[in-house]
């Protein structure tokens, strides 16, 4: 059962790093879109004196800005950014419990470990359904690479820290 808990710990940590990177990417996309809208809107207002020279350009700019502004809340990456903004912090809180459970694993019997695994997996599914239900998060190779690297770094540090703690005792 300890090996299974370790596996769950590893998978959850990978998921945390993956979704954290995914959130960062989506947040950047939302920021770029909002910056584009800002520049286009300001450009349209600032160019009022030149409207006589290019009469069709400015109405087209304003239509684009208004259209994108109207649908921005319905764009997939905006919905994903919103869901991930709530999901990632709560997943981080779950990870604190998972790490604590691993630290206490030697003082826990097999039945309690099995119950803890069930609780962790249930909480994860509830969180995922609560914030990411209905979103089509595409697999992202950048997120996979990032999560893999960060997971390896985390567990290398975690193992070193645990070994040092045990040698002090």
Q: How confident is the model over 69-98, as pLDDT tens digits?
A: 888 888 888 999 999 999 999 999 999 999
pLDDT at 46: 67
How far CA 62 is from CA of 38, 74, 103, 116, in Å, comes to: 11, 19, 58, 56
* Average pLDDT, rounded, for the chain: 88
Rounded to 5 degrees, φ, ψ at 109 are -80, 170
Asked if the model's pLDDT at residue 165 lies above 60, the reply is no
Structure tokens at 134: 């209905």
């Amino acid at each position: 059962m300890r090996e299974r808990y370790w596996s769950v710990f590893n998978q959850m940590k990978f998921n945390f790093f993956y979704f954290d990177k995914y959130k960062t990417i989506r947040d950047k996309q939302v920021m770029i879109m909002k910056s584009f809208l800002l520049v286009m809107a300001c450009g349209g207002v600032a160019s009022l004196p030149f409207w006589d020279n290019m009469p069709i350009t400015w109405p087209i700019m304003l239509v684009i800005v208004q259209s994108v502004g109207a649908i921005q809340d319905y764009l997939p990456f905006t919905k994903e950014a919103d869901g991930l903004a709530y999901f990632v912090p709560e997943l981080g809180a779950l990870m604190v419990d998972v790490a604590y459970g691993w630290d206490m694993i030697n003082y826990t019997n097999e039945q309690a470990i099995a119950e803890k695994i069930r609780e962790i997996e249930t909480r994860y599914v509830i969180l995922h359904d609560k914030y990411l239900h209905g979103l089509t998060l595409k697999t992202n190779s950048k997120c996979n690479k990032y999560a893999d690297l960060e997971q390896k770094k985390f567990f290398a540090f975690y193992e070193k820290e645990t070994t040092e703690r045990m040698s002090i005792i």
